[in-house]
Structure 1
Amino acid sequence: MKVHNDTPDHVTESSYRMFLVDTPLVSVPPSGDGRVPPCGFGSFHQQYVVDGKLIAVGVIDILPKCLSSKYLFWDPDFAFLSLGKYSALQEVGWVKENQVHCPSLQYYYLGYYIHSCSKMRYKAAYRPSELLCPLRYQWVPFNIARPLLDRKPYVVLSDHALLQDGESLPPQTAENAIEVQQNDNGDEDTNDVLIDDSEEMIEPESESSDDESGPETSGQTLENCDVGDILIGLKDPV
């Protein structure tokens, strides 16, 4: 309600659960053999507490190769602490610390990036970083991608990387031009959602849905299998 000007009747437990609790990830318990970190793989809430008071919650996915930062909501009374930046640094530190237990953990993932959206520019502040070209699924260093994105709203990020490798580029067509959305006044970014004194959580309008049922969180665990090949578990359609 503080950030998105939602009315009280829009804030419901079911929408919170669908948005920030339910997950398609299959829980994988710690294995003790260096393949899984001590907390296991899956979806988690990281709680930030000061003097017994909950001031922020980070919603994260822990996968075999990365920690994916999905969302952060925080108490507006503690905005002066820049909790979005603090939580990002804590999450980066977590990846470094847990490489000892799980060497496959190498990356910190901040999700989608829109170059023209001021609310997402903070993601480019963490370096070194890369953007994924959605056409060829190649990772491109941000320092290479940035001047391309500065010049025009439609760009194939991996073109520059291919030229550097001496490869010829495919013909430019409407099908292989990737649109960079012009959304400077768009939805709030993930680190802009707050939690008030009563610890009531808010679902952004951009994430709202008429279907309040949502997928249920899977409590299934998998053993004696290659966790590197396990990313998500899909429920059978109802």
Structure 2
Amino acid sequence: MPAQVTFEPPSYTEEKFALYSRYQQEIHHEAWERQPSGFKRFLVHSPLAREAIEYPSGRPDHLPAEYGTYHQLYRLDGKLVAFGVIDVLPRCVLSVYFMWEKEWEKFSLGKLSVLREAALVREMHEAGVMGMKYLYMGEYFAHPLFRERTKSILAILVTGFYVHSCRKMLYKGDYAPSYLVDPEDYSWAPLETCRPLLDKYHYACFSHPERSLDTPATSPDPTPEIPLEVLQNVRHVIQTATERGEVVAPVADWVVWQPQHARGTVLSMIDALGEKVAQEVLFDLSSL
């Protein structure tokens, strides 16, 4: 059986979960994922509503019928060797996550998936979905000048945030030609000219290198102080999918036992939401 790439709505299967667990352990060297709940929360459950895609001359069979989240499966001789999670949106395809079997690592399946997803954008555009022209990888920069300056280009790969000191993000520089947006005037600079500045400075300005800084311009914001009575009324989920629903507990009990960076993250979230709103929502702190 030849290689196959297929679409399907997001779902849990033991085959997908096993691949995800091996990927986390063998590629990222993280703890073995033993419970399907984390997989479902991360890669199956989606807030996107399904909505029909209008193709002026009819939908080609290989293109999605609806906007929403999909699993894109890569099989070889019937075996699942990789799969990606993508969001098909009115103006773009968003590449959410991709994983593969370690035995196929040398074939750079991640790059293959980018080519396949970029082809999907182009095929949908050529089938009449005229607004479809972007492939985003991860979170992305969406300043209005970006779309204005790229409106004449048919298909654009936007790799999202680039953190030069993060090893997991360096692969984004493998795609050429690559450009980084300037943090001050939003012009584009070739990655090759940006790297020396990023190696040298804490803050790098590509259009005006003389404005680059060796150290942060300001000190980090102090951790906000939240009254104990508020923390006792802010709740977080400690167990899901029980017969009685979700089990919750006061954030006050959680904060006491956590390291400083985790406490600071939660207190900053509460401060940003405001005490009233924070007491009306449930926090999921499982990833901290």
Range into which the TM-score falls when normalised by the shorter chain: 0.5 to 0.7
- Greater RCO structure (CA 8 Å; 6+ sep): 1
Query: Residues of 2 paired with 1:23 and 1:139: CA distance?
Result: 34
* Cα RMSD after superposing both structures: 3.7
What are the superposed Cα offsets for residues 5-61 of structure 1, whole Å, 9 maximum, x if unpaired?
A: 4555x4211000111112222222222338x97432221110001111111011111
Query: Residues of 1 paired with 2:40 and 2:111: CA distance?
Result: 25
- Tell me the TM-score normalized by structure 2: 0.49
Query: Residues of 2 paired with 1:109 and 1:139: CA distance?
Result: 19
Query: Residues of 2 paired with 1:43 and 1:4: CA distance?
Result: 24
How far does residue 69 in structure 1 lie from its aligned partner after superposition?
1.3
Does 2:88 match 1:67? no
Query: Residues of 2 paired with 1:137 and 1:68: CA distance?
Result: 26
Aligned amino acid, residue 26 of structure 2 = K
Q: How does 1:1-238 map to 2 (within 5 A)?
A: 1-8=25-32, 10-33=33-56, 38-101=64-127, 102-111=129-138, 112-131=161-180, 138=186, 140-143=188-191, 145-156=194-205, 160=207, 174=217, 213=240
Q: Which segments of 5 or more consecutive residues in structure 1 lack a partner in the other structure?
A: 164-168, 176-208, 215-235
Aligned amino acid, residue 19 of structure 1 = F
**How many percent identity over aligned positions?**
34
- Do the aligned partners of residues 211 and 129 (structure 1) sit closer, same or farther apart at CA in structure 2, a change above 3 Å counting? farther
Higher helix share: 2
Structure with bigger gyration radius: 2
- Do the aligned partners of residues 92 and 211 (structure 1) sit closer, same or farther apart at CA in structure 2, a change above 3 Å counting? farther
- Do the aligned partners of residues 110 and 6 (structure 1) sit closer, same or farther apart at CA in structure 2, a change above 3 Å counting? closer
Higher strand share: 2
- Tell me the TM-score normalized by structure 1: 0.58
2:27·2:102 contact (CA, 8 Å) conserved in 1? no
Aligned amino acid, residue 75 of structure 2 = V
- Say which SS state the counterpart of residue 109 (structure 1) adopts: strand
